[in-house]
Amino acid sequence: MKVTLLDRPDPTVCATAAGMCYNAKDPWKALLNAMAGGHESVLEHCKFSFMIEGVSRALLAQLTRHRIASFSVQSQRYVSYKDGFDYVTPPAILALGADAEKRYHNQMEMMHMWYCEWLQNDVTPEDARFVLPNACATKLVVTMNARELRHFFSLRCCNRAQWEIREMADEMLRICKENAYSLFADAGPGCVRGACPEGKHSCGKPRNKEQVSV
Ligand SMILES: Cc1cc2nc3c(=O)[nH]c(=O)nc-3n(C[C@H](O)[C@H](O)[C@H](O)COP(=O)(O)OP(=O)(O)OC[C@H]3O[C@@H](n4cnc5c(N)ncnc54)[C@H](O)[C@@H]3O)c2cc1C
């Protein structure tokens, strides 16, 4: 998995907006007050675009549930995998050892054979891809504003989130903190800010700030 920030987000715009709302002398203090008071629309003025590579289509299905984000995804209709496709191997399968990893690889090879069989029968990539797995790797560009990102981190940096999207969300949060710390100082799963919001579904292992910090 590779996560790359494509733009230079400017958190100053959020501070300027918050300062303007309250005619404040110190726009950064106004921003902190706005965030603490739930006046979160000021966070929508700062956007982040990420290139995400080497993640599975299983992750893609989860990521695209976040409706406030904008997406551009590599096409499986127009990009042919006739020479093979990259895929993601779950750590749980890798942990079973070399034999399991080989078996998994052979299963991917088998699906690639099925895919090529359809291409050879003049079926287009958009239809041949129906035999491809969720493991198939994809790449995409996603843009989210800081408000949506904070919401995304609450859900996807949580231990209840699936491992692959959690790994990606953790890396995105690390990058966001590096580039706009003031907007993300307390971002992450709910347990970073206080009690776990998951109730009886809580993992019971709160992730502390260090686990999700720069
Ligand atoms: C641990 C976990 C398990 C999950 N399991 C399942 C599952 O089994 N099945 C399943 O289908 N999904 C599942 N999901 C996905 C989940 O239901 C959400 O679709 C996904 O997390 C996106 O969240 P969201 O809607 O809050 O975010 P976004 O779409 O990014 O929206 C952000 C916020 O904007 C507001 N908003 C956006 N659109 C609307 C709207 N139309 N109306 C009102 N308010 C809106 C809401 O306040 C929302 O929280 C799971 C998610 C997690 C984290």
Question: What's the token pair of residue 54?
Answer: 């080497």
Whole-number average pLDDT of the chain: 94
Nearest residue CA, atom 28 of ligand 1? 66
Average pLDDT over residues 52-71: 98
Q: Residue 91 Cα, ligand 1 centroid: separation in angstroms?
A: 26
Q: From the alpha carbon of 156, which atom of ligand 1 is closest?
A: 53
Indicate which residue of 57, 129, 150, 156 is catalytic.
Answer: 156
Tokens of 122: 């003049």
pLDDT average, residue stretch 1-11: 96
Segments in 121-212 forming alpha helices (H): 125-128, 146-156, 163-179, 181-184
What mean pLDDT comes out for the span 170-188?
96
**Is position 67 annotated as part of the catalytic site?**
no
CA distance 47 to 13: 10
Span of 55-64, 99-108, 130-139, 189-198 with lowest mean pLDDT: 189-198
Contact 53, 2 (CB under 8 A): yes
Confidence of residue 198 (pLDDT cuts 50, 70, 90): confident
The atom of ligand 1 lying closest to the CA of 161 is: 1
Is residue 54 pLDDT above 80, yes or no?
yes
* 211, pLDDT greater than 60: no
Residue 212 has pLDDT above 80, yes or no: no
**CA-to-CA dists, residue 66 to 26, 49, 55, 151, 198, angstroms:** 33, 15, 16, 10, 19
Instruction: Quote the CA–CA distance of 187 and 212 in Å, as a whole number.
Output: 9
**For atom 20 of ligand 1, which residue has the closest CA?**
65
Contact between 21 and 35 (Cβ < 8 Å): no
Q: Report the nearest atom of ligand 1 relative to the CA of 68.
A: 30
Share of the chain above pLDDT 70, in %: 96
Q: Which domains occur in the chain, in start order?
A: 2-73+137-212 (3.30.1360.170), 91-131 (no CATH)
**Predicted pLDDT of residue 195:** 86
Q: pLDDT digit string (tens) for 88-104?
A: 999 999 999 999 999 99
Query: Is the confidence at residue 121, as pLDDT, over 60?
Result: yes
In the structure, which protein residues have their CB atom closer than 6 angstroms to any atom of ligand 1? 65-68, 148, 151, 155, 160-161
Which residue out of 67, 148, 152, 203 has the highest number of ligand 1 atoms within 8 Å of its CB and is therefore the one to mutate?
Answer: 67
